[in-house]
Amino acid sequence: MGLLPPVPGERDEHLHQPDHGDHPPGGHRRLLTRARRTAHGRERDTARQLCRACAAPGPPLPRVGRITTPTAPEPLLGRPERLIALADGVYAIAITLLAIDIKLPDGLDSAEFHRQLRDLLPQVGAYALSFLVLAAFWRDHHRLFLGIRQVDGLAIRLTLFGLGLAALLPFPTSLIAEYGREPSAVAVYSAAVAALGSTQFALLLVVWKRPWLRWAPLPDREAHACLADLGATVVVFAATVPLSFLIGSRVAWGWLVLLPVKVAIGRWSTRVRRSDV
């Protein structure tokens, strides 16, 4: 902005007004002209400093209306409805396959019928165990995907890997039903459940650390409760793998430790959800 010329008849309060007795005629006019030039020079110096400040490197200014959400490291691949439907189908088929081998041969007399019925108890027990395991993992998967609005490649890969392990679980279930006294059968079953739990654990971490996948970010306390629940399952079944070769098949009774642990974590998770509401 330039310096405005003085209004005629208005007293200049900033500059000394010399009289004709001190300077020759026209001297005060030359002083005023020099002062105006000095002021213009100062304005030019200030403008140059501002231009240099604008040209200096610095953080870019935010645009109006710009969204400041984190950038997704992978391209988003759409909504999760088809992935949820696939998971529901795989878990349903896996649970159905658990009961296919539970049957009695035809043409048995009374004594043979009761003997065969008693022999089916290990298969029924293995079915009940695997049903609870698959039902718990399906419940966790269902709860996790309730708040998801879109999926990326990593979430899809982890989900598909977990579904592959869930579909494989009927095989180790048949091993502990037929060869429950063999340490190898217990180790294979424990490894399958621990792998399935680890995949679910990793999927939960991905959803928690990538808030752009959800409608609303997963609260930290709720994520900690879910991770503790899955982590307890992974730790107990993973520890059973080496212990089965050291102690024997009776180490499978150690799985009962999960009952009070799950109850305690479930109550903690319920309190956390109620407090976050």
- From first to last of its 277 residues, the chain has per-residue pLDDT tens of 444 455 444 444 444 444 444 444 555 455 445 555 555 555 555 545 544 544 444 445 444 333 344 556 666 768 899 999 999 999 999 999 999 888 888 888 888 888 888 888 989 999 999 999 999 999 999 999 988 999 999 999 999 999 999 999 999 999 999 998 999 999 999 999 999 999 999 999 999 999 999 988 888 888 998 999 999 999 999 999 999 999 998 999 999 999 999 889 888 888 877 776 6
Residue 219: which of 236, 203, 228, 207 has the closest Cα? 207
Question: Which two three-digit tokens encode residue 230?
Answer: 């899955």
Q: Is residue 218 part of a domain?
A: yes
Structural domain count of the chain:
1
Question: Which two three-digit tokens encode residue 143?
Answer: 């709860």
Residue 237: which of 176, 153, 160, 156 has the closest Cα? 176
Judge residue 63's burial from the number of C-beta atoms within 10 Å of its C-beta, 0-12 exposed, 13-18 middle, 19 or more buried.
exposed
Q: Is residue 20 part of a domain?
A: no
Q: Is residue 155 part of a domain?
A: yes
Question: Which two three-digit tokens encode residue 263?
Answer: 């109850």
Q: Is residue 98 part of a domain?
A: yes
Q: Print the domain residue range for 245.
A: 81-276
Q: Is residue 245 part of a domain?
A: yes
